[in-house]
């Protein structure tokens, strides 16, 4: 009897942890599996708070995983360069507060180039932690790319140079993780300048190797 109770509990926990459905039309209930061999009716349990992401079991830093209670259903990835030779999340945070009068750094992630943060180091900003809209495509409230697109900034000016090998590897790992978690297709990975509706900009720089990134993602 105790053993049967454990199986039922485990089954319920598995259903709660799965949450792989993106279907808004689905009723907010799920069926718990039953360990009973008899034809007893399945038990109805309530869904946990909204969480539409796919639960991917990847070996990624824990701070890449948002808290389920606030996690958004992101639909695109937008890549930027900082257009500076150096920088990190804290520096961009200060600049965006002081010069742009935003509530902080506009991006969700910043990937360092070895100047003010590690080469290939991925910094997670308050926007990703809070799952709040970004300010990386114009800073305009209501802009779809800010609302639904994940903003990743690589430190560097890629009109002049290319990202470092470590930056590209970190970017590919991060984008791959985000693609799987939110079911984002390759066609929804944009450079800032190719984002539908974005203002005219060189970002992420003429030398940013977008086709190389997509090649890395297919491996
Ligand atoms: Zn940009």
**Which residues have C-beta within 8 Å of that of residue 43, sequence separation ≥ 6?**
31, 32, 34
Q: How far is the CA of 152 from the centre of ligand 1 (A)?
A: 9
Q: How far is the CA of 71 from the centre of ligand 1 (A)?
A: 24
Q: What is the largest CA-CA distance in the chain?
A: 69
What phi and psi values does residue 92 have, to the nearest 5 degrees? -65, -30
Q: How far is the CA of 137 from the centre of ligand 1 (A)?
A: 6
In this predicted model, what pLDDT tens digit does every residue of 116-137 receive, in sequence order? 999 999 999 999 999 999 999 8
Tokens of 195: 């984002």
Q: Check residue 48 and give its pLDDT.
A: 44
Mean pLDDT across the stretch 43-65? Answer: 62
Buried residues in 45-62 as b, exposed as e (16+ CB within 10 A): eeeeeebbbeeeeeebee
Q: How far is the CA of 192 from the centre of ligand 1 (A)?
A: 5
Q: How far is the CA of 70 from the centre of ligand 1 (A)?
A: 25
Q: How far is the CA of 145 from the centre of ligand 1 (A)?
A: 11
In this predicted model, what pLDDT tens digit does every residue of 172-211 receive, in sequence order? 999 999 999 999 999 999 999 999 988 899 999 999 999 9
Q: What is the CA radius of gyration of the chain?
A: 20
Q: How far is the CA of 143 from the centre of ligand 1 (A)?
A: 14
Percent of the chain having pLDDT more than 70?
Answer: 72
Q: How far is the CA of 7 from the centre of ligand 1 (A)?
A: 50
At 57, is the pLDDT very low, low, confident or very high (cuts 50, 70, 90)?
Answer: low
At 219, is the pLDDT very low, low, confident or very high (cuts 50, 70, 90)?
Answer: confident
Q: Check residue 108 and give its pLDDT.
A: 97
pTM of the entire structure? 0.74
Start-to-end Cα distance in the chain: 49
Helix (H, G, I), strand (E, B) or coil at 88: coil
Q: CA-to-CA distance for 78 and 126, rounded, in angstroms?
A: 17
Mean pLDDT across the stretch 102-124? Answer: 97
Q: Check residue 19 and give its pLDDT.
A: 32
Report how far apart, in Å, the C-alpha atoms of 108 and of each of 7, 35, 40 are: 40, 43, 48
In this predicted model, what pLDDT tens digit does every residue of 88-100 receive, in sequence order? 999 999 999 999 9
Q: Residue 76: name the closest of 130, 151, 169, 4 by CA.
A: 151
């Amino acid at each position: 009897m105790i053993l049967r109770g454990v199986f039922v509990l485990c089954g319920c926990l598995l259903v709660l942890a799965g949450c792989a459905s993106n279907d808004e039309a689905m009723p907010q209930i799920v069926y718990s599996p039953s360990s009973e061999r008899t034809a007893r009716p399945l038990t109805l349990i309530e869904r946990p708070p909204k969480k539409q992401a796919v639960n991917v079991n990847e070996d990624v830093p824990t701070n890449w995983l948002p808290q389920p209670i606030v996690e958004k259903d992101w639909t695109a990835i937008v890549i930027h360069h900082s257009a500076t030779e150096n920088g990190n999340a804290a520096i961009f945070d200060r600049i965006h507060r002081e010069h742009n009068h935003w509530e902080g750094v506009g991006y969700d992630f910043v990937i360092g180039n070895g100047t003010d943060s590690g080469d290939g180091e991925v910094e997670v900003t308050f926007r990703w932690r809070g799952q709040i809209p970004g300010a990386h495509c114009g800073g305009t409230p209501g802009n779809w790319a800010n609302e639904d697109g994940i903003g990743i900034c690589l430190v560097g000016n890629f009109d002049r140079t290319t990202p470092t090998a470590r930056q590209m590897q970190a970017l590919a790992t991060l984008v791959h993780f985000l693609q799987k978690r939110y079911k984002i297709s390759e066609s929804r990975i944009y450079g800032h300048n190719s984002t539908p509706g974005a203002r005219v900009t060189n970002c992420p720089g003429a030398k940013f190797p977008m086709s190389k990134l997509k090649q890395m993602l297919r491996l």
